[in-house]
Structures are given as structure tokens and as C-alpha cells.
């Protein structure tokens, strides 16, 4: 589904990604871990098309399309979803209207007719249950005045609405208490299928107790320095990142 080859990117003059290789197939969950500043969020942002980053080399193929050539909105329409680490507050735009626009823009891109109000509401009600989010919250300005947990649940609600092929969760666990974490994880797990894939970007192993990965990759200084199974995450939790750094230094 997603094939990243030798991806390099910088922000300003600062090189952050130094040649990432990653293959993600349908039905898989990949965890990207690593110490602060290793490039985890940059990778997520580059895949979603954030303009602040300049891709300086490499290629990304997503279901046969050159992802790096696509506008951020087209990437979303092709099935990429980025759950933001810091969801943006947008006064004056309600989540409902926002989602209605997003759903129908994506349907338009795919050559489907727009959902009418009834069908949209039905879809929304169904997905709201999944993340235990209240309709009154969705009628309010997008993320404005939401708690950290509400923002993250809103992200997963949006993910449920848009049914992406590839979901990238960028530090979704940050700022969440254990109850909120469980709700978010439950939402993500319910959406898993053999047709879609998930990349979980996280600093801590905690989230991976709830969203169990098939593969774990450790990112350090802009490169994947180690890959393994969920056991690798446990090892990292127990030993910290220093041994990875030392190992990397030896290479």
C-alpha cells in the first residue's frame, strides 16, 4: 500500500529525515517510535503533505500513485489520514459542517455523488458511538475550547467518518489520560480491517498495549535504525532509548 524509499526531508536549513525506507501493506499496523527530535512527527507531516517541509530526496508510492506529487487534499482523498498531534482550533467552523464538506469533497474526488443531509447524519451518528463523542460537541466550533481528550477523540471521529486506507496517528496518546486513551484505542481498533493500514507514531509504549502493532520501527536521527515486532517496543520501554543511540553510534 505504502512504499517509502530513501525519503529525505528538511525544514529550513535543517535536514531531518535522512533516508527512510518503509513498506506498509494492507491490514498491517506499524508503530514508529523514537526519542524526541528523531523525526517521527516530520515523517507523519511529510506523508500528509505539510508545506513547511521540503522533500530533498527519495520517493513515496501510495497504491501506485506518487504521493509526493499530490496536494494535501488529494492525498486525503486518496485515503491518507493524519490524526494531528495538536489538532487545530478553528472558530466559526463546526465539526459537523467541516466533516460534511470534507466527506463530500472526498466523494467528489472519487466521482461519487454527495451525501444528502439524512445520509450524512446517519453516518455521523454511527461513527459518534465509536469514540463516545457527544453531538453537542460536534455542533460547536472545531476543537475550540475542547479538552485534550476531546480533541483526540474528535480526530478519531473524523478518521471514522473519512474511512481512510492509511491512518497516521501522530502522538495521539500525548495528553491523554488512561480512560481517554482506551476510548481512542477502541475507536482505532474498530476501524482496523484487512483493507486498511495504520501507522502509529508514539514516544511511549503505553499506547501499543491498546493498539497492538505488527511491526515496530525505531527512528533515530532521521533514519529507521531498528525494526522488529511488538517485543521491540517492550524492550524500549524497559531499557529506554539510550542503547539504540549507542548501537547507532557504533554503526
Partner 1 sequence: MTTSTESFYTRIQQSALPSYFTEGTAKRQAALQRLAEVGLPTIKSEEYRFTPITKSLEKKLTWEISEQVSSISTIYSLLVNGLDAHLIVLINGRFSKQLSNLKELEKNVIVTTFNEADKQSKEVIQKLLGSVGNSSDAFALLNSAFYQEGIFVHVPKDTVVSKPFLILHINDAQQKQVISHTRLLTVVESGSTVSLIEKSDSVGEHNCFHTFTEEIVVGENATFDYCKIQNDGRAIHQVSNTTISQSDSSKVNTFTLTLNGQLIRNNLSIMIDGEQCESHFNGLYLVKGNTLVDNHTVVDHQKPNSFSNEMYKGIMDENSKGVFNGKIYVRPHAQKTNAFQSNRNILMSESATINTKPQLEIWADDVKCSHGCTTGQLDEEALFYLQARGIPHDAAKAMLLYAFALDVISLVKNETLRNYLDGLITERLHKNF
Which region, judged by CB under 8 A, interacts with partner 1, from 95-103, 115-123, 187-195, 231-239? 95-103
107-146 residues near partner 1, rule: CB under 8 A: 109
Q: List the one residue from 5, 10, 50, 230 that touches partner 1 (CB under 8 A).
A: 50
Contact 11, 42 (CB under 8 A): yes
Is 49 in a helix, a strand, or coil? coil
According to DSSP, the residues that pair with 22 across neighbouring strands are 4
Calpha distance 188→114 (Å, rounded): 26
Nearer to partner 1 (CB atom), residue 83 or residue 244: 83
Beta bridge partners of 224: 219
82 forms part of the interface with partner 1 (CB under 8 A)? yes
Q: Residue 127's closest CA among 63, 176, 40, 191?
A: 191
In the complex, minimum distance from the CB of residue 5 to partner 1, in angstroms, rounded to a whole number: 23
By the rule CB under 8 A, 242 interacts with partner 1: no
What cell was used for 74?
Answer: 488529494
CB of 31 to partner 1, least distance (A): 21
- Could you say which DSSP state residue 67 is in? G
- Hey, what's the cell of 192? 482496523
To partner 1, the closest distance from the beta carbon of 47 in angstroms equals 10
The yes or no reply on residue 54 touching partner 1 (CB under 8 A) is no
Phi, psi angles (nearest 5°) of residue 110: -90, 5
Closest separation in Å from C-beta 59 to partner 1: 21
Per-residue contact flags (x/-) with partner 1 for residues 147 to 166, judged by CB under 8 A:
-----------x---x----
d(CA 133, CA 198) in angstroms, rounded, equals: 22
Residues that bind partner 1 (CB under 8 A): 48-51, 71-77, 81-82, 84, 87-88, 90-93, 98-99, 101-103, 105-106, 109, 158, 162
Amino acid at each position: 500500500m505504502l512504499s517509502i524509499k530513501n525519503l529525505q526531508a528538511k525544514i529550513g536549513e535543517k535536514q531531518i529525515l535522512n533516508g527512510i525506507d518503509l513498506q506498509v501493506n494492507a491490514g498491517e499496523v506499524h508503530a514508529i517510535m523514537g526519542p524526541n527530535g528523531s523525526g517521527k512527527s516530520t515523517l507523519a507531516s511529510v506523508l500528509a503533505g505539510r508545506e513547511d517541509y521540503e522533500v530533498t530526496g527519495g520517493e513515496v508510492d501510495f497504491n501506485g500513485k506518487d504521493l509526493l506529487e499530490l496536494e494535501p487534499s488529494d492525498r486525503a482523498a486518496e485515503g491518507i489520514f493524519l490524526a494531528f498531534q495538536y489538532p487545530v482550533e478553528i472558530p466559526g467552523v463546526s465539526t459537523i459542517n467541516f466533516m460534511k464538506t470534507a466527506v463530500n469533497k472526498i466523494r467528489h474526488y472519487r466521482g461519487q455523488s454527495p451525501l444528502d443531509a439524512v445520509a450524512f447524519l446517519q453516518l455521523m451518528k454511527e461513527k459518534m458511538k465509536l469514540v463516545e463523542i457527544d453531538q453537542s460537541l460536534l455542533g460547536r466550533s472545531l476543537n475550540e475550547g475542547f479538552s485534550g481528550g476531546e480533541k483526540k477523540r474528535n480526530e478519531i471521529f473524523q478518521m471514522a467518518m473519512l474511512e481512510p486506507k492509511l491512518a497516521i496517528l501522530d502522538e495521539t496518546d500525548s495528553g491523554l489520560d488512561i480512560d481517554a486513551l482506551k476510548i481512542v484505542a477502541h475507536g482505532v481498533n474498530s476501524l482496523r480491517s484487512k483493507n486498511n493500514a495504520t501507522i502509529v507514531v508514539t514516544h511511549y509504549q503505553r499506547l501499543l498495549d491498546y493498539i497492538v502493532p505488527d511491526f515496530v520501527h525505531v527512528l533515530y536521527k532521521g533514519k529507521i535504525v531498528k525494526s522488529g515486532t511488538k517485543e521491540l517496543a517492550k524492550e524500549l520501554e524497559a531499557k529506554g532509548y539510550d542503547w539504540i543511540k549507542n548501537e547507532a553510534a557504533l554503526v
